[in-house]
Structure 1
Amino acid sequence: MASAIRRALDAVYDLAAMLAALCLVLILAVIVLQMASRWTGIPFPGSSEYAGYLMATASFLAFAHALNRGAHIRVSLFLTALGPRRFWGELWGLAIGTAASGYLAWYAVRTVQLSIKFNDVSQGQDATPIWIPQVPMAAGAVLLAVCFADNLITLIATRRDNIRASAIEDAAE
């Protein structure tokens, strides 16, 4: 059962990372369309806003995957210096990360709800209902909170988290 949950969570983190990569490709497409718009004189209103929405989406959707891949900044030197007390440093860091990401996720979802309630639209030329770009950002924030909680629970249960060693840690060993 636990291995099925682990595989499912890893698959969700990987899917979010693939969607983030797709957003980066779409940013390239928007930039190319902006260039074509300038060359042809055909207007492309809101293109800068769309690129910004895609950048926020790509960032937030990639957070959980990056955490499990060891790509987020961790104070490995400090954790290594803790020696046999490393578990407690990891526990403290994951507990703080879980609380902070949970707080972020709560308010990201709340912001989407308020944007829908007030029919808020972007102030750019596109006049996009702002909840549309906020939804993937909130989803990424929720996924990050789940990932932190996942790592915290795994650490408590097995005394080891799911975070793979970063390239820097691999080189040091």
Structure 2
Amino acid sequence: MADDTANENSQHGPLRALWPTRGLELITAALAGTMVAYIAITTALRKLGVPVLGSDEFANLLFIWVIFLGMALVHREGGHLAVTFLIDKLPDRFHNWVVVLVEITVFALSAFLIWASVGYVADSLSGSRVTPGLGLNPAVLQLAVPTGAALCALYAAMRIARAITRALRGGAPDKTVIEEI
């Protein structure tokens, strides 16, 4: 088992070794599983004529959190859709610099999401508004955006550092990162 961990850490470097990553995976999986089970149960209850107050609201809450936490996790793994035909034509020495540019773009977009969403969260926390079905402060839902974006920015910053280090040392491009671009 230790060998599996060593191989996993060497393949993904510090991105995999980052302490909150495994917990984040477990939380996201638990939220997704809860969402699926909850929707199945409330659908069955609705078919039996027993409506559940706030059921769509709770499912939406779980869905939004799964989306934004999943966004960060997928970015860490290099799983987002990408077009690679241009980078494939470049000499290897330029690949790391393209990775740096792409990750700077991801970081900037994540920072923008954080900046744009924090105002909504602050407004919700300062007000007395609650959701109609569950009576929750809307900030519970809105916090998903800056949380996911902050995690995505963290992973992008780590990838920037790794790509700059490789480029300056003249190292071979990281194929796991190049394949995602």
CA distance in 2, matches of 1:99, 1:120: 31
Does the aligned pair in 2 maintain the 1:105–1:145 contact within 8 Å?
Answer: no
Alpha-carbon distance change, 100 to 9 in structure 1, aligned in 2, over 3 angstroms: farther
- What residue number does 1:15 align with? 23
1:67-82 equivalence runs, <5 A? 67-82=75-90
Does the aligned pair in 2 maintain the 1:67–1:163 contact within 8 Å?
Answer: no
- What residue number does 2:7 align with? none
Alpha-carbon distance change, 64 to 163 in structure 1, aligned in 2, over 3 angstroms: farther
Does the aligned pair in 1 maintain the 2:114–2:145 contact within 8 Å?
Answer: no
> What residue identity is the alignment partner of 2:79?
A
TM-superposed deviation, 1:143: 0.6
Structure 2, unaligned stretches of length 5 or more?
Answer: 1-9
Structure 1, unaligned stretches of length 5 or more?
Answer: none
TM-score by length of 1: 0.79
| 31, 38, 47: which one aligns with 2:39 | 31
TM-superposed deviation, 1:55: 0.9
Alpha-carbon distance change, 164 to 121 in structure 1, aligned in 2, over 3 angstroms: farther
Does the aligned pair in 2 maintain the 1:68–1:162 contact within 8 Å?
Answer: no
Count residues in correspondence: 164
> What residue identity is the alignment partner of 2:100?
L
TM-superposed deviation, 1:48: 0.9
- Confirm whether residue 154 of structure 1 aligns to residue 154 of structure 2: no
> What residue identity is the alignment partner of 1:80?
D
3-state SS of paired residue (1:76): coil
> What residue identity is the alignment partner of 2:50?
I
CA distance in 2, matches of 1:9, 1:130: 33
3-state SS of paired residue (1:77): coil
Does the aligned pair in 1 maintain the 2:53–2:133 contact within 8 Å?
Answer: yes
Alpha-carbon distance change, 8 to 91 in structure 1, aligned in 2, over 3 angstroms: closer
Alpha-carbon distance change, 60 to 35 in structure 1, aligned in 2, over 3 angstroms: same
CA distance in 1, matches of 2:27, 2:65: 9
- What residue number does 2:176 align with? 164
CA distance in 2, matches of 1:163, 1:150: 16
**For each residue in 1:7-51, what CA deviation from the matched residue of structure 2 results, as whole angstroms up to 9, or x when unmatched?**
786332332222111111111121122123224433311111111
Say what the alpha-carbon RMSD is for the aligned residues: 2.8
Aligned-residue identity in percent: 23
Alpha-carbon distance change, 49 to 20 in structure 1, aligned in 2, over 3 angstroms: same
1:108-127 equivalence runs, <5 A? 108-122=117-131, 124-127=132-135
TM-superposed deviation, 1:131: 0.7
CA distance in 2, matches of 1:110, 1:151: 28
